Structure 1
Amino acid sequence: MRKVRVTRTGRDGAIEVGFFFKSIDQLLDPEDPSPLPERELTEFAEEYIASYLDGYSIKEIVGITIGLPQESLTPDIVALLPETIRQHFSFRIADLDDDRRVSLREGRISLVLAAFNAGVAILFVVVFAGYLDGPVAILLTGMITILNWVTAWDTYEYFIYNYRREIRKHRIYQKLAGIDIQVEGW
């Protein structure tokens, strides 16, 4: 089961969040043979920690606590786990940068397509609308209207929603790459 107990401690506008995992394999990828601190987090742990912190103002988060069963903790794990987590998120920032670069290219293409479709609509209204009559005019007007609506919506959705979400995730990963991390047993 993938349940993680989460605690939140806030004082003086600062927040510390605790993530208490059921096992070390829920946090660290059991298939990664690398020693700490090069070992990777599981996809579940990475997404869980980042998405949970997404609910807070990044500036307010001062630290996180990682809780693991006491029997799975050794002095080496306690000493190296904070750096392991920071290195993981630091490494993943490069992937997010690449995703954002590709996404920005797609956003630009959407913007060009929206401008082109708007130009086609204007050209249709100015040049051809006066010459066409009846069902053909209605059909072409409807198709051009739908085409413009779809490309405008796609462009709007990208810049207003998707790109902002990518920027926010990048900021969270940057925060996690340098945040104070405590390890404790439960």
Structure 2
Amino acid sequence: MTDDLVSTESVIELRIENIALLFDPLDPFPTPSRDLSKTAEDFIVEWARELPRRNPIRLILHIPQSGQHDLSQLQVAFSNHFRQRARRVKGDIDELFGVGRTSLMIGLATLIACVLGGQVAVMLLGSGSAARILSEGLIILGWVANWRPLEIFLYGWWPLARRRKLFQRLAEMPVEVLTT
């Protein structure tokens, strides 16, 4: 294996005065089950987005030496938090596809109705300009009704899938604590 193919580790560094600031103060659960604070999560996620996607990520926490710190559950807490975030995004993807399926059924029914309506217009009004305008307008309307489901199935889920993969990477990252 050449050196070009070996991925290097990407590092996120976070300096914090107190470990408690990493966690949501309103979450009543003990540390391994607590959610990260919005600020800490946003900082980590934004930094991770800028890192190469193929590299594993490692988190280094810089904390002051003074004070009591319960460091034993930090790895579990970070893994639990980001694993839960990945599950939530998976639920968002599933919900989006559900909306897409419903929208597709409505869109296809609308398209069929518009095509049939256009044919009826030609039969009733003849082959004149009014019948063609009405017929083609209905066909355009039928295709426009399918715009949203096509957008969902072709492009709409990509950002969510990328976010889920990022959360999965963050759930696997080792956490290292350095005292200053």
**Could you tell me the TM-score, scaled by structure 1's length?**
0.71
> What's the CA shift for 1:40?
1.2
Higher Cα radius of gyration: 2
For 1:49, the equivalent position in structure 2 comes to: 44
In structure 2, C-alpha distance between the alignment counterparts of 1:19 and 1:143, rounded to whole Å: 58
> What's the CA shift for 1:52?
4.0
Q: How does 1:3-152 map to 2 (within 5 A)?
A: 12-21=6-15, 24=19, 27-60=22-55, 62-70=56-64, 74-77=68-71, 79-132=72-125, 138=133, 141-142=136-137, 145-146=140-141, 148-149=143-144, 151-152=145-146
The alpha-carbon distance between structure 1 residues 122 and 176, as it changes in their structure 2 partners (threshold 3 A), is: same
The alpha-carbon distance between structure 1 residues 44 and 109, as it changes in their structure 2 partners (threshold 3 A), is: farther
For 1:161, the equivalent position in structure 2 comes to: 155
Superposition CA RMSD, Å: 3.2
The alpha-carbon distance between structure 1 residues 137 and 72, as it changes in their structure 2 partners (threshold 3 A), is: farther
Q: Which has the higher strand share?
A: 1
Is contact 1:50-1:169 (8 Å) kept?
A: no
Unaligned runs of 5+ in 1: 1-10
- What is the DSSP-based 3-state SS (H/G/I as helix, E as strand, rest coil) of the residue aligned with 1:129? helix
Matching residue's letter, 1:164: W
**Could you tell me the TM-score, scaled by structure 2's length?**
0.73
In structure 2, C-alpha distance between the alignment counterparts of 1:135 and 1:26, rounded to whole Å: 69
The alpha-carbon distance between structure 1 residues 104 and 73, as it changes in their structure 2 partners (threshold 3 A), is: farther
In structure 2, C-alpha distance between the alignment counterparts of 1:81 and 1:143, rounded to whole Å: 60
The alpha-carbon distance between structure 1 residues 45 and 110, as it changes in their structure 2 partners (threshold 3 A), is: farther
Give the paired residue count. 173
Identity percentage of aligned residues: 24
In structure 2, C-alpha distance between the alignment counterparts of 1:114 and 1:72, rounded to whole Å: 63
Is contact 1:21-1:67 (8 Å) kept?
A: yes
Is contact 2:121-2:134 (8 Å) kept?
A: no
Unaligned runs of 5+ in 2: none
